[in-house]
């Protein structure tokens, strides 16, 4: 359910782009993010930090896109978001004393500190890569191709990365005795 909620603003953006273009899609994305925050609060009685950061960037860059009528702002938003995530993953061990991955998954799985570090490093590199790929797409693709890549390409890359992480983690999961 949570994964579908997180994916909903992107789907809304993509559909609105197909129907009415980038500026309408940007407005729809802003509304969808506001709805996501409300749903988060109703369901969880809090807003996850990642959703809050994403929403702030959508509101800032979306507003700039609509007010200045310049599509580059909304196109840069994924890069800024991915690089911000990368910095968060990088800084968490210094701030929290443990990696962000360990903070998120530590209740469900027990791993050696070295493995938590590797997982965290993988997320840092992945988000840096995704930000760079977005910039390359913005500068080398048409707006239409960028939207398609954002929807299909980024979703596919994220899926492949998460499956890779799951396969990596699988060797550390012990089966419960029967």
Indicate if 45 and 92 belong to the same structural domain.
no
pTM for the full predicted model: 0.87
Indicate if 51 and 131 belong to the same structural domain.
no
Cβ atoms of 91 and 109 closer than 8 Å: no
Indicate if 175 and 109 belong to the same structural domain.
yes
How far apart are alpha carbons 64 and 148 in whole angstroms? Answer: 22
Instruction: Indicate the residue among 12, 38, 68 that finishes a domain.
Output: 68
The range of the structural domain enclosing residue 1 comes to 1-68
Indicate if 4 and 60 belong to the same structural domain.
yes
Q: Residue 109 — pLDDT band, cuts 50, 70, 90? A: confident
H, E, C per residue of 70-95: CCHHHHHHHHHHHHHHHHHHHHHHHH
Tally of structural domains, the chain? 2
Cβ atoms of 69 and 23 closer than 8 Å: yes
**Percent of the chain beyond pLDDT 70?**
96
Q: Determine the average pLDDT of the residues in 17-43.
A: 96
């Amino acid at each position: 359910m949570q994964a579908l909620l997180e994916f909903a603003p992107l789907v809304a953006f993509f559909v609105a782009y197909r129907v009415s273009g980038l500026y309408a899609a940007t407005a729809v994305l802003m509304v969808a993010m506001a709805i996501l925050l409300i749903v988060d609060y109703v369901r969880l009685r809090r807003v996850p930090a990642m959703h809050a950061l994403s929403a702030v960037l959508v509101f800032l860059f979306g507003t700039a896109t609509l007010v200045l009528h310049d599509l580059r702002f909304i196109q840069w938003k994924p890069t800024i978001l991915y690089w911000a995530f990368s910095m968060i993953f990088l800084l968490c061990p210094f701030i929290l004393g443990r990696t962000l991955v360990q903070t998120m998954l530590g209740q469900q799985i027990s791993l050696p500190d070295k493995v938590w570090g590797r997982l965290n490093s993988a997320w840092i590199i992945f988000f840096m890569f995704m930000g760079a790929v977005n910039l390359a797409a913005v500068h080398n693709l048409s707006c239409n191709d960028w939207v398609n890549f954002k929807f299909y390409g980024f979703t596919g890359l994220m899926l492949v990365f998460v499956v890779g992480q799951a396969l990596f983690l699988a060797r550390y999961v012990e089966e419960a005795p029967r």
